[in-house]
């Protein structure tokens, strides 16, 4: 039986290995992590990752050919293929802080593999989003530990993951492509054979190591660029009376742009743990390779995203007569996207912090994000922290305004007449995700601002910036 070990039981490693175990019953898959708490969660009935369908996949495989363990050294030593799926955050201090990736976790994993593999050859697979040429650095570490014979003992591949949070299981079961980068044909073939259990051969794409590493950062950057482009257009739509959904539908119909309207919808901004990080790491790679103009281009993609979040906050404050001090503002949605419980780098957190800093009383409701995470993400910006409500109606009771910041379906189906009756007048709704029926809410009596839509008559003539 082939044995696979994955170092890192996070948002990527856990789901990816669970699906691999499901589709490869003849392969033994073990996910290891130094965090005992995280491993215990994977072995419990309440998984640490909220993904539709993931519970069923884990239950089907756990105890059969899928296991989770904190005994990192033992399982790495016994594996034939080792995936590395550890965090690569942006450096928070030291040289190039705020720009360069922090590879401390990655290097630690490489050294664990080297120290635990004295008597066994291995295929080592990068699963994390890493800078270009990280595989070469990993090869050097493994070679040094092998006493100069590491090239024969280890083969390093790049196999970046492209699934999207909220649809991870679906994406992993039916990937549009699997990228495998490597130099050794035998190692590439071995990993192809694993994926061939369920992925059609024409969707398994082999390429060079550097190309595979760069493909992950480039995919994130191209996606972020599309979102930022739509958001930049949304500001002009509001200023001119155009409708951003109509504009992006026309643009998306052009095959040269990519076809369809996917990821061309505007909103309060993109978020999540990887998108902005990957773009900034790509910008840093350009800078480090003497390409300052290319680096600045990609940084502007992130800068437009920051502008969009700030623009939303300024519109809220300006619409409410230039101040939110002492006013209650309900925030519906805190996750960075619908379908996940993840609030890392959520635009909602930035909006909440902006409102709190301006003196608002913020009441948050999200159906999936924990109260602990909401409080942590909004701490240290004002004396008063955000309050957490049990439901949308409690959050909006007595509020001057409601901000819809995550596209949960339930927010579109709320009884807005009930919400209106419990709010102060004038009652404002600020839709950052295209969730509400603008016409119906205006009929009820709300003053409605929706990103990229023609302005409410109430708002025309008022400044867009407080």
Residues ≥6 apart with Cβ < 8 Å to 118? none
| Owner of token pair 């205006």 | 442
Q: Binding site membership: which residues?
A: 33, 38, 88, 162-165, 216, 271, 277, 337, 344
Burial class (CB in 10 A: 0-12, 13-18, 19+), 63: exposed
3-state secondary structure the chain: CEEEEEECCCCCHHHHHHHHHHHCCCEEEEEECCCHHHHHHHCCCCCCCCCCCHHHHHHHHECCCEEEECCHHHHHHCCCEEEECCCCCECCCCCCCCCCECCHHHHHHHHHHHHCCCCCCEEEEECCCCCCCHHHHHHHHHHHHCCCCHHHHEEEEECCCCCCCCCHHHHHHCCCCEEEECCCHHHHHHHHHHHCCCCCHHHEEEECHHHHHHHHHHHHHHHHHHHHHHHHHHHHHHHHCCCHHHHHHHHHCCCCCCCCCCCCCCCCCCCCCCHHHHHHHHHHHHHHCCCHHHHHHHHHHHHHHHHHHHHHHHHHHHHCCCCCCCCEEEEECCCCCCCCCCCCCCHHHHHHHHHHHCCCEEEEECCCCCHHHHHHHCCCCCCCCCEECCCHHHHHCCCCEEEECCCCHHHHCCCHHHHHHCCCCCCEEEECCCCCCHHHHHHHCCEEEECCCCCCCCCCCCCCCC
132's tokens: 């270009």
Q: Let me know the angle formed at the C-alpha of 52 by 268 and 203, rounded to the nearest 5 degrees.
A: 90
| Owner of token pair 């998984």 | 47
157's tokens: 């591949």
Q: Binding site membership for NAD(+): which residues?
A: 33, 38, 88, 165, 277, 344
CB 452 within 8 A of CB 233: yes
Number of alpha carbons in the 13 Å side-chain half-sphere of residue 235: 19
- C-alpha 377/C-alpha 386 separation (Å) is 9
Q: Binding site membership for substrate: which residues?
A: 162-165, 216, 271, 337
Q: What's the residue count for the chain?
A: 466
């Amino acid at each position: 039986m082939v044995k696979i070990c994955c170092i890192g039981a996070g948002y990527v490693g856990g789901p990816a290995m669970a699906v691999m175990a499901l589709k490869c019953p003849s392969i033994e898959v073990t996910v290891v992590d130094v965090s005992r708490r995280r491993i215990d969660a994977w072995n419990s009935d309440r998984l640490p990752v909220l993904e539709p369908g993931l519970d069923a996949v884990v239950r089907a495989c756990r105890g059969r050919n899928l296991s989770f363990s904190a005994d990192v050294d033992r399982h790495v030593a016994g594996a034939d293929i080792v995936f590395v799926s550890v965090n690569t955050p942006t450096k928070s201090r030291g040289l190039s802080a705020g720009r360069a990736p922090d590879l401390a976790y990655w290097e630690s994993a490489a050294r664990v593999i080297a120290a635990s593999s004295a008597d066994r050859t291995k295929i080592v697979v990068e699963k994390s989003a890493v800078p270009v040429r990280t595989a070469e650095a990993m090869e050097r570490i493994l070679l040094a530990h092998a006493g100069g014979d590491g090239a024969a003992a280890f083969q390093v591949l790049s196999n970046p993951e492209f699934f999207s949070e909220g649809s991870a299981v679906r994406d992993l079961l039916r990937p549009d492509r699997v990228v495998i980068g490597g130099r050794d044909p035998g190692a590439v073939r071995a990993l192809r054979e694993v994926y061939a259990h369920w992925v059609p051969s024409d969707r398994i794409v082999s390429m060079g190591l550097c190309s595979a590493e760069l493909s992950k950062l480039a995919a994130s950057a191209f996606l972020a660029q599309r979102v930022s482009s739509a958001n930049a257009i949304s500001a002009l739509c509001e200023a001119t009376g155009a409708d951003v959904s109509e504009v992006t539908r026309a643009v998306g119909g052009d095959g040269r742009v990519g076809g369809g309207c996917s990821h061309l919808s505007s909103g309060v901004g993109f978020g999540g743990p990887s998108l902005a990080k990957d773009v900034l790491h790509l910008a840093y790679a350009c800078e480090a390779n003497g390409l300052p103009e290319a680096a600045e281009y990609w940084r502007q993609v992130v800068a437009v995203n920051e502008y969009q979040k700030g623009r939303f906050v300024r519109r809220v404050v300006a619409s409410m007569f230039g101040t939110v001090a002492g006013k209650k503002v309900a925030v519906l949605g805190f996750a960075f996207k619908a379908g996940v419980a993840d609030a890392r780098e959520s635009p909602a957190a930035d909006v909440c912090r902006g409102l709190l800093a301006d003196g608002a009383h913020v009441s948050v409701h999200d159906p999936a994000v924990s109260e602990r995470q909401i409080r942590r993400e909004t701490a240290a910006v004002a004396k008063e922290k955000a309050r957490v409500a049990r439901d949308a109606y409690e959050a909006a009771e007595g509020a001057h305004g409601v901000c819809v910041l995550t596209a949960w379906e339930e927010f579109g189906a709320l009884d807005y007449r009930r919400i209106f009756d419990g709010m102060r007048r004038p009652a404002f709704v600020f839709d950052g995700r295209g969730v509400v029926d603008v016409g119906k809410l205006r009929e009820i009596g709300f003053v409605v601002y929706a990103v990229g839509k023609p302005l409410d008559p109430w708002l025309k003539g008022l400044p867009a910036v407080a």
